[in-house]
Chain A
Amino acid sequence: MVEVREDRMYTKSHEWVKLEGNVATVGITAYAVEQLGELVNIDLPEVGREVQRGEEVAVIDSIKASEAVYSPLSGKIIEINEALSEDLSLLSESPYDDGWIFKLEVRDESEVSDLLSPEEYKKILEE
């Protein structure tokens, strides 16, 4: 079973969310990276953009396919990981740390309770 970190929350679409106050750092899980295969390109969102929960904010191209990254929460994008544009190996090799994708100022704290716990996410992977 691929790594699932205990220190964060998850979505059904394989994003992870780490909350510090009202700032959420978002990335994709080790499982998602494995499914994508070789990464060649990432389209990052613009800083300052307001997004809704479930909205497509980024796209990752692999050699064979493209996958969307959806925002787990509603809010404003305050930072993006520009280093990924130069070096996608940060994402493929360190999806939970150096491979973070964007940071969000959370607008609606109540949405957090709809995120999956590590246990719930692990169950999804087992199916």
Chain B
Amino acid sequence: MANRTPLYEEHKKLGAKFTEFSGWEMPVWYSGIVEEHLAVRNSVGVFDVSHMGRVEVPEEYEEELSSLFTKNLRGSKPWKLKYGMMLKQDGSVIDDMIIYKIPGKFLIVPNAGNDDIIASWINKNLGKEVARVITSDLSMLAIQGPKAEEVMEKILKEDLSDLKFFRCKEIELFGERGIISRSGYTGEDGFEIMAPPRAIIELWRALISEGVKPCGLGARDTLRLEMGFPLAGNEFSGGRTPIEAGLEFAIDWDHYFIGKEALLEQKSKGNYERLVGIILDSKAPPRHGYEVYKGEKKIGTVSSGGYSPILKRGIALAYVRPEHSKEGEEVGIKIREKILNGRIVKPPFVKKR
């Protein structure tokens, strides 16, 4: 049976439609994917993201942990977040994640279902059990949208204006201690907050009472797709590297990390497929695995596709041959035996706020 987060009953109360995602039974929508998507872009929405992994590593292993992560963690200052990946020796992505530095430890948030994989990878490479999975100790919400700060300040009775992007701080949440960060997966201003389940459930109820729209995985996907953010199961499947995925910004080349040599070799050879954005002339949503064409020639494959509620068009992320990866290039995506016209864009599809 699939896992349920501590907020499962709350989702049922709100009439959520459920789906299974990475071993978790999660809400896919409550009122409707497009409605929830627009609420996040125009106002504020809340997501239960308790299914994400949470892994703790003591700070004394900073050096070793840094050698497993594409970002340099040496000399990490507390209350900062870093986005990066852990790679295999061949440069392929194991998972992408955010690593929080807080006093005494690193808190790693990998994708749902990958907590054990990441903890094992760390422990195997260090030769001892230093990584501890604490996924079920904490629940987590994402509050996203232009009105996120206003509603969170009201409920928490705390000034959040000085909490900068990709910073976190400790706060008191209904008698428990939690960590709040200015971060998210939607491209809007917003926060992610972790705390013991009891306090997160109280926060959820308070947010819903304040009129914040509950949003499910359906809107989570359409929102991140409009931003061009990768979804690990799609953009990294098949052994893709951060170079192919256009995620060099998530690499600090000034430190050693597993997979670094393979990436440098790939960069020097240059002949690799690149992740691009494609916007179609039509509304038809492309899907993972659909073929990308230049005339009659197949030049790539869709890794993520869907419908953009803001652009009212089908959009996709796709890996294409380098010679056809320029912005503005006219390409087609084969949908049901017909090649639909579109063009390559550099994500985000929708301006970040």
Contact = CB atoms under 8 A, between A and B. Distances in A.
Given A61-B307, A63-B33, A41 B222 contact: no
A40 interface: yes
B306 interface: yes
A55 interface: no
Contact of B222 (A37, A61, A63, A66): A63
B32 A38 contact: yes
B307 A41 contact: yes
B305 to A, nearest CB: 11
Contacts of A41: 282-285, 307, 314
Interface of A, secondary structure class, is strand
A63 B284 contact: no
Interface of B, secondary structure class, is mixed
Nearest to B37: A63
Contacts of A40: 283, 285, 307
Interface in A23-54: 37-38, 40-41, 43
A123 interface: no
Interface residues of B, number: 15
B218 A64 contact: yes
B351 interface: no
B218 to A, nearest CB: 6
A59 B285 CA distance: 12
A72 B314 CA distance: 29
Nearest to B312: A40
B160 interface: no
Contacts of B306: 63
B32 A61 contact: no
A61 B306 CA distance: 10
Interface string A59-81: 10101101000000000000000
Interface in B300-317: 306-307, 314
Interface of B: 28-29, 32-34, 218, 222, 282-285, 306-307, 314, 336
6 tightest A-B contacts by CB? Answer: A41-B283, A40-B307, A41-B284, A63-B33, A61-B285, A38-B34
26 contacts: A37-B29, A37-B32, A38-B33, A38-B34, A40-B283, A40-B285, A40-B307, A41-B282, A41-B284, A41-B307, A43-B284, A43-B336, A61-B283, A61-B284, A61-B285, A61-B307, A63-B218, A63-B222, A63-B285, A63-B306, A63-B307, A64-B28, A64-B33, A64-B218, A66-B285, A66-B336
